[in-house]
Chain A
Amino acid sequence: MTTTETRTYAPEHTPRLPLAQLAPEFYRAMVRLEAAAAKGLDPVVYELVKIRASQINHCAFCLDMHTKDALASGESVERIVQLSAWEESEHFYTEKELAALALTEAITVLTDGFVPDEVYERAAAHFDEAELAQLIAVITTINAWNRIGVSTRMVPGHYTPGMYKN
């Protein structure tokens, strides 16, 4: 008797539109934006922000990419898993990371009303002005990638770390 069960997964969807090919100039500017935004931001914070915004915006492709990138750069499974409930698992993160996560949520969900002073001030207490500007830029940029990924329905599951690096 075998205990092996054959699992049948749902079929993979196809992307809606090859945006990078159809809007190459826009896409090149986005790649430049990404590089410019990432400059000077703590790389650990960078990946946490990327993952958290992608969770909020439900970007499957982005989650595939950024969880793999985080793991590849040495991030722990526990910290990645706890990210969607980080307010209840604060002891997994540093105060600086928590401030960045709070700012990520505020800037990602603008429809609930602006970016509260206390959230901004908390971030400003942990990041100097230059790094804070980069943090805001990274949050903005992942929100842009999330919009591209979700609207064109990019397919998760095929990313390998480093595949977009030159």
Chain B
Amino acid sequence: MPARTDRLSADVYHALAAASAAAKEGLGDPVLVELVMLRASQINRCAFCVDMHLTLARKNGVSERSLDLLQVWEETDGVFTAPERAALALTEAVTVLTDGFVPDEVYERAAAHFDAPALAHLLALITVINSWNRIMVSRRTPPGELVWQ
């Protein structure tokens, strides 16, 4: 399956890459970063992104059990930490805006686990991965294609 188009302006790519780097650095926890990146990519059905973030998650030490159960994290016990669960709930709410806003309880739950700068960067990260998901799905970038690094 070839990509639909190879066109992606270098300025767009570099700006989004800079936004990505800033969000990741501000959050600081590579395991949490990959869980958020992967969960959003699952929801948005981005094959390229799921493939890439599975690879990066493994590279950053995310356990196979976490990866297996990420899609059903709400029904798991003892697999994800409380901050991870709060971040995953926030990821889902911010990724699916069509169902209506970001509920106070979801936001407050995240705010209870992350201080304001960390929460800001978590929201930034969710925003960034949603952007990559949209670019890669629209271009139909095949999984494994090296458009990154």
Contacts and interface: CB of A to CB of B under 8 A. Distances in A.
Given A114-B45, A150-B101, A26 B9 contact: no
Interface residues of A, number: 51
Nearest to B133: A110
Interface stretch (B10-18, B68-76, B81-89): B10-18
Nearest to A103: B138
A120 B22 contact: no
Interface stretch (B31-39, B55-63, B91-99): B91-99
Interface in B135-149: 135, 137-140
Given A33-B19, A140-B134, A110 B46 contact: yes
A106 B134 CA distance: 10
Contacts of B128: 26, 144
B117 A56 contact: no
A134 B9 contact: yes
Given A32-B18, A33-B12, A151 B107 contact: yes
Interface residues of B, number: 49
A109 B120 CA distance: 24
A120 B131 CA distance: 18
A19 B23 CA distance: 11
A148 interface: yes
A129 B23 contact: no
B134 A143 contact: yes
B137 A107 contact: yes
13 contacts: A23-B23, A23-B26, A23-B124, A32-B14, A109-B98, A111-B98, A115-B138, A120-B138, A136-B135, A144-B130, A144-B131, A150-B94, A152-B123
Instruction: Give the 4 A-B residue pairs with the shortest CB-CB distance, closest first.
Output: A22-B120, A36-B11, A29-B19, A33-B15
